[in-house]
A and B are shown apart, each in its own frame.
Chain A
């Protein structure tokens, strides 16, 4: 049932809008892959999904499902199913008939459609809920039914439009586990829109990062964090350390000193911004030895902010400023001197401007 999906220079300009909502977005999703489209509000995430579903026609560009262009194909004939932020369960149907909806409208006998629907209710751990009216469900249960209903349609591509953003954190964790379990059992092709980096990291195989309608990077979650291709990517992924400098002979020189590119990688010569994840910065006592592959920098604690079990630390190194996270119990105080160890493999250089 899974199909591959490709977007080719997808552009969407809404009537009366000056800037395009989508600006030449190209990416591909393999059959059975889970892609997360990540981006801030207004970045065009949902526009991509609506265009794929056929709910909005793109201004230009192509959408290919298993290599075939689906331009002009009505939403009901595209073989996509979509789960929205609101479950949108049909209020006049029972839970079971909601899940059986796709089979019913396809003309299957009611008994068969319901028997099939029961399997999908079991899949989302709601066996025994079939006869209930949809008004008798909690928010999490409603969204499970919405997922079961979408899966029961046997979509070639399952589209999820921020499906868990209205749920509380605990329920979201449950839903992420459910989605992973569904992926293992049914191996559907999934495109999920989210603004939550953690959700994308937990659920998706790869992530397409959008900003202002443009695709900034389409990569694995790990590479988006550790190998951003632009300053905007580093910032959108929550990166906090930016050190302007210049690359010469594969070595970046900044207020932090000289840092060579990791083995097997090369940085473009000229001005560049060194970016490092704050999670990679290790704060050690002054006299500690420097492990292999680490860059050691002497710093002074400039600020400390409590964040529950963790504390965020700002570290001054001359004019440069580093950020790090330490356990809340660690007695680092403002003004204290320390050594930071930064793995060379965690360093990346991106162009200075934000584009």
Chain B
């Protein structure tokens, strides 16, 4: 630690003293040194966790990047190239569009339904408690189980068409169909429960009194929702939306189970290439993973920028 740092930690009164007395000041600021050593202790305590997380995250991304650029081939001489990115160019673009579509639809639907559920929950009536209980019960169910359940429920041979007495051939292609309805539905079911609980938690602590105040200023229920409740919930919704988008964009099993074989969303494409017997497929899988990660990071950055623009965050 340099002198400048030490002066920064010294009491305000000591700052007026000239540079020639810095040595004397150093001997007069045991509090500053104690604060400095405490900071080092904190850093030392956090370091192991940061190191492991950094190794996994940055190491993983770094390895994927290096592999996708042809610098870590399974066989042959390493050489810098974009071949892995170009090898499945069409599939990559289609997969990117498909993944963005699924993630966007799932995120928007989850946020709308989740926010509605949160408002119902914070009203505190019996319906609210019922919705809260349903949301809480949804959270622990794994996506894989959810996907299997959705498949059993709404496929053309599923429980729902049978209950409704509709023939499988007349039932729309919800599972494995062109619109990926079952995939979006499964994500929406799980993630709207997540939004509902996160937003209800934020609203519960503050919305009741603001709601009363707004009512007494003449705001109808609809106006209160628009001018008070939704603005208060916005930061929590944005944060939830970022999490949901990144999760659904990078999630594999639901799209694999309930989607159609072609085209493939990015995670399904990446896993198929990773698992392929062709030795050149590994860098191609890494390229898909790198693009998935890059898009996710861009979405996180955009989401955080949006969050900073909300008046509550400022």
Contact = CB atoms under 8 A, between A and B. Distances in A.
B301 interface: no
B217 A102 contact: yes
A162 B216 CA distance: 16
Interface string A65-86: 0000000001111011110101
A153 B310 contact: no
Given A55-B212, A88-B210, A106 B218 contact: yes
A247 B108 CA distance: 81
Interface stretch (B59-67, B159-167, B226-234): B226-234
Contacts of A74: 215
A104 interface: yes
A82 B227 CA distance: 18
Given A88-B213, A91-B312, A92-B312, A76 B231 contact: no
Mostly, the A contact residues are mixed
Contacts of A149: 217
A102 B213 CA distance: 10
Nearest to A107: B223
Contact of A88 (B209, B219, B231, B310): B209
A90 interface: yes
Contacts of B232: 91-92
Contacts of B214: 90, 101, 105
Contacts of A53: 216
Contacts of A29: none
B218 A92 contact: no
Given A102-B217, A102-B218, A133-B311, A90 B212 contact: no
Interface in A37-62: 53, 55
B125 interface: no
A76 B220 contact: yes
A105 B223 contact: yes
Interface residues of B, number: 22
Contacts of A106: 218
A93 interface: yes
A90 B215 contact: no
A124 B72 CA distance: 71
Interface in B227-280: 227-228, 231-232, 234
A274 to B, nearest CB: 45
Interface in B171-191: none
A80 B311 contact: no
A150 B218 CA distance: 10
How many A residues touch the partner, as a band? 20 to 34
A161 to B, nearest CB: 11
Contacts of B209: 84, 86, 88
B314 interface: yes
B216 A81 contact: yes
B310 A92 contact: yes
Interface in B199-215: 209-210, 212-215
A93 B312 CA distance: 9
A69 B168 CA distance: 61
A76 B217 CA distance: 7
Contacts of A101: 214, 217, 219, 227
Contacts of A133: 311, 314
Contacts of A105: 214, 217-220, 223-224, 227
A81 B216 CA distance: 5
B2 to A, nearest CB: 36
Nearest to B219: A105
Q: Which of B210, B217, B224, B314 has the most CB of A within 10 A?
A: B217
B311 A76 contact: no
Contacts of B216: 53, 55, 75-76, 80-82, 150, 153, 159
A300 B289 CA distance: 96
A66 to B, nearest CB: 17
Contacts of B213: 82, 84, 88, 90
Nearest to A152: B217
A322 B33 CA distance: 64
B228 A76 contact: no
Given A75-B212, A88-B210, A93 B311 contact: yes
10 contacts: A75-B216, A76-B216, A79-B218, A82-B212, A84-B213, A88-B209, A90-B210, A91-B312, A102-B218, A106-B218
- Which 10 pairs, one residue from A and one from B, show the smallest C-beta to C-beta distance? A105-B219, A92-B231, A102-B217, A75-B215, A105-B223, A92-B311, A82-B216, A76-B215, A88-B213, A153-B217
Given A53-B216, A92-B231, A101-B227, 20 more contacts: A55-B215, A55-B216, A76-B215, A76-B217, A76-B218, A79-B218, A82-B216, A84-B209, A90-B227, A92-B234, A92-B311, A93-B311, A101-B217, A101-B219, A102-B218, A105-B220, A105-B227, A150-B216, A153-B216, A153-B217
Interface of A: 53, 55, 74-77, 79-82, 84, 86, 88, 90-93, 101-102, 104-106, 133, 149-150, 153, 159
